[in-house]
Structure 1
Amino acid sequence: MDSLLWMLVGHALADYPLQGDWLSKAKNHTLSLIPGEAIWPGALASHAAIHAGAVKLSTGSWVLAGCEFIAHAIIDRTKCSGRLSYNVDQGLHVICKLAWFGALSLFGPLP
């Protein structure tokens, strides 16, 4: 149960103080913070990597960290496209943490 709680704490840190206003805007492909440059891919990847790092620290698993990286990037891109509300976005992130915890519970430590 500790790993689930640490993943949720990691999510709260990564989505609020570690994201900040600039990264929140920079990861959004519908905005242009630097005219003529598409910075959103790197910004979105960096944000997803912060979340993946929190999952790795919480679970010890690079596999689950990779799953988090992919899932977080997809969810946030979809939200930035206007197809998800803020609350649905946050709910999906929590569901992912539950899935990673479920995988740990079923399969034990993953590499």
Structure 2
Amino acid sequence: MTSYELLQMFVLLLVAHALADYPLQGEFLAKAKSRFIPVPGVPWYQALGAHALIHGGAVAWITGSLVLGALEVICHMLIDDLKCGHRISYNVDQLLHVMCKVLWVALILFFPALP
């Protein structure tokens, strides 16, 4: 994969992240995903899982790797849970999400046959 293709992939991952974290998340998921302030009648883990699955699907689609998509789901859930519990700030949350995208591209660079 060329450096231009890797850069293009990274930019697409950032665009997909912005779409998934803002318009595709919406107010409902933003509130319902918190186990610390639950929405009555809505299991927080389902909302958090759905939100993370949107992110993971985008990563898998862009990278062509189900492994990276699954890693994104796990990492996104952990990072968002830390943010919802006020253990990290909004800005640290966003930085960690971007660093995950850097890691995915690096893994593709060093392991091009990643499934």
Q: Tell me which of 65, 71, 76 is aligned to 1:67.
A: 71
Q: Pairwise mapping of residues 72-111 of structure 1 onto structure 2 (< 5 A)?
A: 72-111=76-115
Segments of structure 1 that go 5 or more residues without pairing to the other structure are none
What per-residue deviation string (whole Å, max 9, x for no partner) do you get for residues 46-100 of structure 1?
0000000110111000000011000000000011111010000000000000000
- Deviation for aligned residue 1:38: 5.3
Given that residues 4 and 58 in structure 1 are in contact (C-alpha distance below 8 angstroms), is that contact kept between their aligned partners in structure 2?
no
Segments of structure 2 that go 5 or more residues without pairing to the other structure are 1-6
Partner Cα distance (2:63, 2:57) in 1: 10
- Specify the SS of the correspondent of 1:48: helix
Given that residues 32 and 44 in structure 2 are in contact (C-alpha distance below 8 angstroms), is that contact kept between their aligned partners in structure 1?
yes
Question: Aligned letter for 1:50?
Answer: I
TM-score (norm 2): 0.91
Given that residues 79 and 89 in structure 1 are in contact (C-alpha distance below 8 angstroms), is that contact kept between their aligned partners in structure 2?
yes
Q: CA RMSD in A?
A: 1.0
1:2 aligns with 2:8: yes
Q: Which segments of structure 1 move beyond 4 Å, counting only runs of 4 or more?
A: none
1:13 aligns with 2:8: no
Alignment match, 1:31: 37
- Deviation for aligned residue 1:32: 2.5
1:51 aligns with 2:55: yes
The number of equivalent residue pairs is 109
TM-score (norm 1): 0.94
